[in-house]
Homo-oligomer: A and B are copies of this chain.
Amino acid sequence: MTLYRLSATDMAAKIASGEVSSEALIRACLARIDEREAGVHAWAAIDREGAISAGREADKARLLSAGKLGPLHGVPFAVKDIISTAELPTEYNSAIYRGHRPGSDAPVVMTLRAAGAVVLGKTETVEFAAHGRNPVTRNPHDFARTPGGSSAGSAAAVADLMVPLALGTQTGGSVIRPGAYCGCIGFKPTYGTVSTEGVKLFSSTLDTVGWYARTVADIRLVAGILEIADDQFPQAPAPSSLRIGVCRTPYWDRALPATRGAIEEAARRFAKAGAKVEDAELDPAFADYNELKEIVMRAEGRFAFLNLQRAYPEKLSPGIRKRMDRIPNRKLREALDKAASLRPVFDRFAGGYDAILTPSTTGEAPIGLESTGDPIFNGMWTLLHAPCLTLPGLTGPEGLPVGVQLVGPRYADGALLAVAETTASLLQA
Docked complex: A169-200 residues within 8 A CB-CB of B: 190, 192-197, 200
Known contacts A197-B201, A204-B192, A337-B344: A111-B303 contact under CB 8 Å? no
Is A5 an interface residue when CB atoms closer than 8 A count as contact? no
Known contacts A103-B102, A411-B330, A411-B333: A307-B195 contact under CB 8 Å? yes
Residues of A within 8 Å of B, CB-based: how many?
53
Smallest CB separation, A265 vs chain B (Å): 33
Is A321 an interface residue when CB atoms closer than 8 A count as contact? no
Most buried by B among A104, A300, A307: A307
Question: In the complex, what residue of chain B is closest to A106 when comparing beta carbons?
Answer: B307
Is A304 an interface residue when CB atoms closer than 8 A count as contact? yes
Question: In the complex, what residue of chain B is closest to A201 when comparing beta carbons?
Answer: B197
Residues of B near A291 (CB, < 8 A) are none
Known contacts A194-B303, A230-B329, A411-B329: A110-B337 contact under CB 8 Å? no
Contact assessment for B104 and A303 in the assembled complex, using a CB-CB cutoff below 8 Å:
no
Residues of B near A340 (CB, < 8 A) are 337, 340-341, 343
Contact assessment for B104 and A192 in the assembled complex, using a CB-CB cutoff below 8 Å:
no
Q: Of B102, B104, B113, which is within 8 A of A97 by CB? A: B104
Is A306 an interface residue when CB atoms closer than 8 A count as contact? yes
Interface of A with B (CB < 8 Å)? 97, 100-105, 107-108, 110-111, 113-115, 190, 192-197, 200-201, 204-205, 226-230, 300, 302-304, 306-308, 310-311, 326, 328-330, 332-333, 337, 340-341, 343-344, 347, 410-411
